Amino acid sequence: MAYIEVKNENKIYQMGETQIFANRDINFEIEKGKITVILGPSGAGKSTVLNMLGGMDSPSSGQILIDGVDVAKFNDRQLTLYRRNDVGFIFQFYNLIPNLTTLENVELATSLVKDSLDPKEVLDQVGLSERMSNFPSQLSGGEQQRLAIARALAKNPKLLLCDEPTGALDYTTGKQVLQLLSEASRKFNKTAIIITHNSEIAKMADRVIHINDSKVHEVIDNSQPIKAVDLVW
C-alpha cells in the first residue's frame, strides 16, 4: 500500500442551481519521502486536491488515505489535530506572524505539536541561524520563505504541502527555495507535494501528477529528477 492513496475523489461545489466539479474522480498514489509535483493550469483543481490532502476540506466522495488512515472520514476535531500534527504548509505568501521573530515563529508552531524538532537546529539547517531575532519584515522574500519552510519542517509532519512556493519570488531566489525544499525533503525523509502551473518545476519531482479540467490526465515518474538549481524557465 502506498503512503498516500487518493481513490475516486470528487469535490463538487453547489452554486445555486449549478454544480461545479472542482475535482472529478481523482486517483493517484504517492510513496513516502518522495517529491511530487501537481501540475496544471489555473482553475484545474490543484488547490482543491491540496486542501483535501491537508485536511482543510473534505471531499464530496472518495477516499484520502494517508499512512493507511482515511482523512476524508475525519470530523472537525480530528481534522484540526491532523492539520496541527501531521501537515506542514508552505504558502506562496509565507503566512508568517509579523510581530514574532524568526525563532518565535518556529517555536509557536512547535509548541503545538508533540514530536517536534529543535527550532534552532532547523533554522540552522535552512541557513537562518544569524537571523533568529529578526522580524519577518526584516528578511528578504527568499529568507521569509526559508523561515516558512523551517516552520513547516520543525513540526516534523508527515506531509509537506507547498502551494506555489516560488510564486512571489524572483527567478534565482525561487530556484534556491526549491533546492532547499528538495534537500530538506530528502534529508528529513519528508513526503513533499508541490503545486505549480510551471512545467519546468515538474522536472525536479520524483512523480508528476498532471491535473487538467478537474481530472488527472497523466501520472509520470522521473527516474532522474533534475536538481532544482539546474532548472531553467
Ligand X SMILES: Nc1ncnc2c1ncn2[C@@H]1O[C@H](COP(=O)(O)OP(=O)(O)OP(=O)(O)O)[C@@H](O)[C@H]1O
Binding ligand X (rule: CB under 6 A), the pick from 8, 19, 20, 199 is: 20
Q: 149 or 209, CB closer to ligand X?
A: 209
> C-beta of 9: minimal distance to ligand X in Å?
12
Q: 22 or 109, CB closer to ligand X?
A: 22
Handedness of CA 11, 15, 17, 20 (dihedral sign): negative
Q: 109 or 193, CB closer to ligand X?
A: 193
> C-beta of 33: minimal distance to ligand X in Å?
25
> C-beta of 99: minimal distance to ligand X in Å?
29
Handedness of CA 126, 113, 34, 165 (dihedral sign): negative
Q: Are 214 and 42 in contact (CB under 8 A)?
A: no
Q: In whole angstroms, what is the distance from residue 109 CA to residue 150 CA?
A: 10
Total residues belonging to the chain: 233
| Contact flags string 31-60 toward ligand X, x per CB under 6 A | ---------x-xxxxxxx------------
Determine the Cα angle at 71 with ends 60 and 65, to 5°: 100
Binding ligand X (rule: CB under 6 A), the pick from 24, 84, 158, 197 is: 197
Q: Which of 131, 112, 233, 126 is nearest to 185 (CA)?
A: 126
Interface positions with ligand X (CB under 6 A): 13, 15, 20, 22, 40, 42-48, 197
